[in-house]
Every structure is written in C-alpha cells, then in structure tokens.
Amino acid sequence: MLRIEAELLQKQGELFCYQEVLFTGIAFFLNGPLVEKVNEYYNGKLLGPYTSQWLDNNTDILRIDLNELDGDGEHQKAYFKGLPYTGIGYDIDEGVCHEESDFINGRRRQTINFYGDGVIDSIKLLNDTLAEEVIFDRQELVKEYQLNKFKVFNVVFGYTARALRSVEITGDFFGQVNKNEYLLNIEVLDTLNKIKKIQVATALNLFYSGVDDKFIEAIMYNEGLKNTNDIIISNTSLSLHSFVEIINNTKLICIWINDSRVEILANLPPILQEFKIKNPSCDVRFNNEKVL
C-alpha cells in the first residue's frame, strides 16, 4: 500500500488519484515539521483517518517528520524543540514515507519500515522486558525473526523462502519463552516440536550456546537435514556425539566448525580428518583451519 505526501494527490471530482491512477494507500498531510493528519484511501475514495496496527492512534498525540528530530532515540535521546520527544515520527523522503516510529521521553519504542511501494520491510516492537523484530522479503515472507528477552535469552531465526537457514540462540530460549509476552502476531519456532517440522535450507548456520543436543535432535528428526549440504557451527553447546550425528547423517560439501572447549579440541579433529579422507571434495574446516 503506497504511503505518500498528500500534496502528491490529484483530486478528480470526489476521487483522488496519484500519477493518474485512482489512489489506494496512505496520505500524510504536512504543515512544516508537523504531520497534521494521516488519511487512508481505497480506489480513490477517502476511507477516513489512518489506523495503525502497531502505533498509538490517539488523534491528540504529536506527529512530526522524523527529520525534525535531534538524535535517533536509540543510541541517543531524540529531542524536538529542545525537549525529549514523545509522539509519532514519520520518515518522509521525496514524498514517500519509509518509516513510522513512536517515541516515549526521547526513546524509540516501535519502528515499522516500508519499501518504497509501501510493502512492509520490518517491524520492531519494544517494551520494558523484551524486543521483538521481524524482517520480511519482497514477497512478504519472514526473512529474519528476533526475540530478545533482556538478560534472559536472545534468539534469531533466519529463513530463505520459508526454509530455516540460520539459528542464533543464547540463554534457555525454549525453557523460558512466554507466549503471552509476544508483541507481534506471527508464528514463532518456540518449541522443539515446531523445530521438528520446519524445512531446513541447503545451507544452515548454527551459532551460540543455546544450540544444544536437544535442538539438533529436533532439527534432525525425520531426516530434517537430508537436503542440507553446507553447514557452519560456531560456539554452540553441542556434544561430540551431536557433531558425529551431523557428519554421518548429511551429504556435506562444506562443514565449518568453531569450538574452543577442551573436549571438542581433543576429540573432534581426528573425526574430521577421517571424514575428510572419505570425502576429499568436502570443504572441512575446524577453528578457521582447513582439515586436510
């Protein structure tokens, strides 16, 4: 859905057009730094005030062009006319709105980014206990999902056309995630049963201590890695047994492993060397060194 400055609209009778086409989308009415109102249109007809799915729709809240703020609200407080900003900000560039954000006392809380044609690029929602973010591709499929529960866990799932391609887990995500805390209404891989059913991409990256034996057991359930031939595993909690299971149950053309634990340093290199001898065309690396 297009998101443009209202001055770009042309009125034809009771209808509104943009570039000679009946307008469907959102129009922003600017008066200097202020966004005085935001209206929604469909096939040229005015539907009424725009209602955001995520941000405050109170008509009394202050709304401005983000370019008028001093500070970004993330690394430093955002100020408007010398005061910490509370309100909605719209990033409008050359007549097109690419971002909506809300601020409380100078701090950015929610951010929604859009491609130029109005398709959602990403959404990041934040409260006092967690931050949740989703990034979409141009087909509106989830490309990356992140949930960070402050000082408890952080998880990032990456996808390629619905197939899982990367996993980063720190902390006990599966044991401590609370579904009632989700801010976004999207499907989350929050149980090992869901991991068992997910399709895995041909290339898979696994990172950090939350990736453990139970996770690998789930992802390998029902030959879940049968189409995966390129794997990177770094700083996980996987046991030697799990590494052996991965090696023996995949058709690898590339496997890179980084792990500094004493047991793994002592026992995994001979296993990788034996695997390399049997599979000379496979690119095998351990702690950034090629296994020959």
For 23-66, write each residue's pLDDT tens digit.
999 999 999 999 999 999 999 999 999 999 889 888 889 999 99
Q: What is the mean pLDDT of residues 77-105?
A: 95
- Close Cβ partners of 127 (under 8 Å, ≥ 6 residues apart): 109, 183
Q: Write 222-228 long-range contacts (CB < 8 A, 24+).
A: 222/196, 223/249, 224/196, 224/198, 224/200, 225/200, 225/249, 225/250, 226/250, 226/251, 227/200, 227/202, 228/200, 228/201, 228/202, 228/203, 228/204
Sheet with 15-18, strands from edge to edge, namely 10-12, 15-18, 21-22
For 193-205, what is each residue's pLDDT tens digit? 999 999 999 999 9
Q: What is the mean pLDDT of residues 273-289?
A: 96
Q: In whole angstroms, what is the distance from residue 256 CA to residue 150 CA?
A: 30
pLDDT above 90 for 94: yes
Count of C-beta atoms within a 10 Å radius of residue 244: 14
Closest-CA residue to 212 (of 177, 173, 250): 173
Q: pTM here?
A: 0.91
269 within 8 A of 263, measured Cβ to Cβ = no
| Average of per-residue pLDDT values in the chain | 95
Residue at 24: amino acid letter: T
Which pLDDT score, from 0 to 100, does residue 53 have?
A: 87
Q: In whole angstroms, what is the distance from residue 69 CA to residue 81 CA?
A: 8
85 within 8 A of 73, measured Cβ to Cβ = yes
Identify the residue whose tokens are 């007809």. 45
User: Lowest-confidence range among 52-61, 62-71, 86-95, 106-115?
Assistant: 52-61
Residue 156: its H or E element:
strand 153-160
Angle at alpha carbon of residue 273, lines to 257 and 262, rounded to 5°: 50
251 within 8 A of 202, measured Cβ to Cβ = no
- What domains appear along the chain, each with residue ranges and CATH number? 1-126 (no CATH), 129-292 (3.80.10)
Percent of the chain with pLDDT over 90: 88
